Amino acid sequence: MLISGNGNLNKKIDLHMHSLISDGELLPSELARRAEVLNHEAIAITDHVDASNIHLIPNLIDAVEDINQNWDIQVFVGVEITHVPVEIISKIAKKARSYGTEIVVVHGETLSEPVIEGTNLEAVKCEDVDILAHPGLISKEAVELAKENEVALEISGRSGHCLGNGHVAKLATEIGADIIINTDSHSPNDLKNFEETKLIGLGAGLNEKELMKALVNTPKKIIKKRRYSRMPL
């Protein structure tokens, strides 16, 4: 049974993971099964998309429906819009929604990849975007817009992408923007339980109160915003 209200805080929500539909190593079902064993309440499978493969979203929906009908974990259909021209982020996000996507993530300006400058700013302006992943040395202007538009800024557990965690945490905390901690899992070893994920936030400089908000309140806020009635809050 899924938690509601204050419930068991050791149940984890992770809204950024990848399956072999893009560059992950696991089928959606195996990803969900491994997450369930690690005491996850819910996950979002957010495979990389651009215009070339966005039509595959219904395939993920079929797999997710099978999981949600039979297992004690809630899986949300997501995408991570990745390395696309800044000018089409909004268009791709809307198209993803039209295919049935529930959680929309944008691949932010991580320090470990040559993401197009301006991606962070455009993502936080878009009403269909829920999470700006690993936004690197994000600007104050972008953080302020993220707060205004309720786009959560990610603290990442992934190698390379985590290099900007301290900067993101500091600026987002000062400005009051929502922070979320995700693993960005691609392989079995990337998955982390609740206590292991707490260490990512503590390493980024979050205090205990900020940490609980990032791990519990923010992901539930995103889910509630999209009005997913199948997960009690």
Q: Summarize pLDDT for 82-139 with one digit per residue, the tens.
A: 999 999 999 999 999 999 999 999 999 999 999 999 999 999 999 999 999 999 999 9
Residues 220-233 have a mean pLDDT of: 74
**Whether pLDDT at 177 is above 80:** yes
Q: How many CA atoms lie within 13 A of 49 on its CB side?
A: 31
- The residues, any chain, with a CB within 8 Å of residue 122's CB and separated by 6 or more, are 86, 87, 89, 90
Residue-range domain boundaries for the chain = 12-225
What is each CA distance from 134 to 41, 76, 188, in whole angstroms? 23, 20, 20
Q: Which residue has the tokens 């503590």?
A: 202
Percent of the chain with pLDDT over 70: 93
Percent of the chain with pLDDT over 90: 92
Structure token pair of residue 10: 């050791």
The architecture that CATH gives domain 12-225 is: Alpha-Beta Barrel (3.20)
The CB density around residue 70, as the number of other CB atoms within 10 Å, is: 9
Q: Summarize pLDDT for 36-59 with one digit per residue, the tens.
A: 999 999 999 999 999 999 999 999
**Whether pLDDT at 2 is above 50:** no
Region of poorest pLDDT, from 28-42, 67-81, 219-233: 219-233
**Whether pLDDT at 1 is above 50:** no
**Whether pLDDT at 10 is above 90:** no
Mean pLDDT, the chain, rounded, equals: 94
Residues 182-207 have a mean pLDDT of: 97
pLDDT of residue 9: 53
What is the C-alpha to C-alpha distance for residues 57 and 41, in angstroms, rounded to an integer?
Answer: 22
Q: Summarize pLDDT for 79-93 with one digit per residue, the tens.
A: 999 999 999 999 999
